[in-house]
Amino acid sequence: MKITVLAGGLSTERDVSLVSGRGVYNALLKRGHKAVLLDVFLGYEGDADNIFERDIDWTSQIESISGEAPDLEKVRSMRGTDAKVFFGPNVIKICQASDIVFMALHGDCGENGKIQAAFDLLGIKYTGTDSYSSALAMNKSTSKLAFRSYGVSTPDSYMLKSADDDYKPEFPCVVKICNGGSSVGVYIVNNESEYQSAVTDAFRYDSKVMVEQYIKGREFTCCVIDGMALPIVEIAPKEGFYDYKNKYQAGSTIETCPADLDAVQTAKIQAEAVKAYNALEIQTYARMDFIMDETGNVYCLEANTLPGMTPTSLIPQEAAAIGKSYEDLCEWIIEVSLAKRF
């Protein structure tokens, strides 16, 4: 097949997305596909005719993930006066020439449903779920409403009206932006001073900020593909919590797959993962994140509709636990997306 791998963009997860895209692109080449790796925002300036027949090294500009969020203003400046248009040069043309677009985008614009909606209108096939469920899952406030209406246990929360909201939380608590990912804009705070600083910082990233009940316990994640829960991963950062640095710097976190859980606990988390998947009307695949408290209660934190596919990402580990290689996983995602939605 002719496949465009779409990565990059203007989210705080830009760097993660580019490394995910590189991994998927290389995997597809190994399986004999004709693949192109594009930054959705920067695009391709050259002649896009017969692009899938060209011998181009699409990975040459992809670097490793740093410990800091990317400088998005610098990225915008690379497009100059044309930066108001989100899709870069020739992106739509190349995607329309593809049999399917593999969505290796993460965070804002990639997971909020906007690109999916545009592609639906343009008749472009793509991996992952549709625009509606993407938008529902991306906004942590609306996804919590869906969880509660479907009986999915999730921590209590409060939506701040502004940075000056006089809400008085119980400490410790979690401050997080509503439309982010990779734990950018997420803060665990223990006192009023930390709280005020976190709220101010969070509103720099997003106009919607949530204060969430802090649950002390073990962290887990579980992917659901085509309605089937995969083996669970336990996530144990060596220091702090599972923030941007601990997610993407090798050796920062101990990840155990399958997680060290008994059969009852395993079944409980997997069932909640499928329930959350259905609550958000996800059609293809997603990864759900959980906390289990000291008494065994399980809380769903969020769903990731385009989870990471980097060398340290979690879904490839879950797939490996059932005997599927990284290349198998990429093929599986493509097959499910085509069968479910097109």
Domains defined along the chain, listed by start: 2-126 (3.40.50.20), 137-153+217-341 (3.30.470.20), 157-213 (3.30.1490.20)
d(CA 276, CA 23): 28
In this predicted structure, what is the pLDDT of residue 100?
98
Say what the pTM is: 0.90
Beta bridge partners of 222: 288
Q: Token pair of 224, please? A: 């659901």
Tokens in use for 219?
A: 């962290």
Burial of 314 (0-12, 13-18, 19+ CB in 10 A): buried
Rg (CA), the chain: 20
First to last CA, the chain: 15
Q: Going by DSSP bridges, is the β-strand pair 100-103/2-7 parallel, antiparallel, or unpaired?
A: parallel
Q: Which two tokens stand for residue 298?
A: 């399980």
What are φ and ψ of residue 25, in 5° steps?
A: -55, -50
Distance CA 15, CA 245 (A): 12
- pLDDT (tens digit, 0 to 9) for every residue of the chain, 342 residues total? 999 999 999 988 899 899 999 999 999 999 999 999 999 999 999 999 999 999 998 998 777 676 677 888 888 888 876 778 899 999 999 999 999 999 999 987 899 999 999 999 999 999 999 999 999 999 998 999 999 999 999 999 999 989 999 999 999 999 998 876 555 678 999 999 999 999 999 998 888 899 999 999 999 999 999 999 999 999 997 655 544 444 445 566 899 999 999 999 999 999 999 999 999 999 999 999 999 999 999 999 999 999 999 877 999 999 999 999 999 999 999 999 999 988
Interatomic CA distance for residues 293 and 215, integer angstroms: 6
Q: List the one residue out of 195, 193, 214 whose CA is nearest residue 203.
A: 195
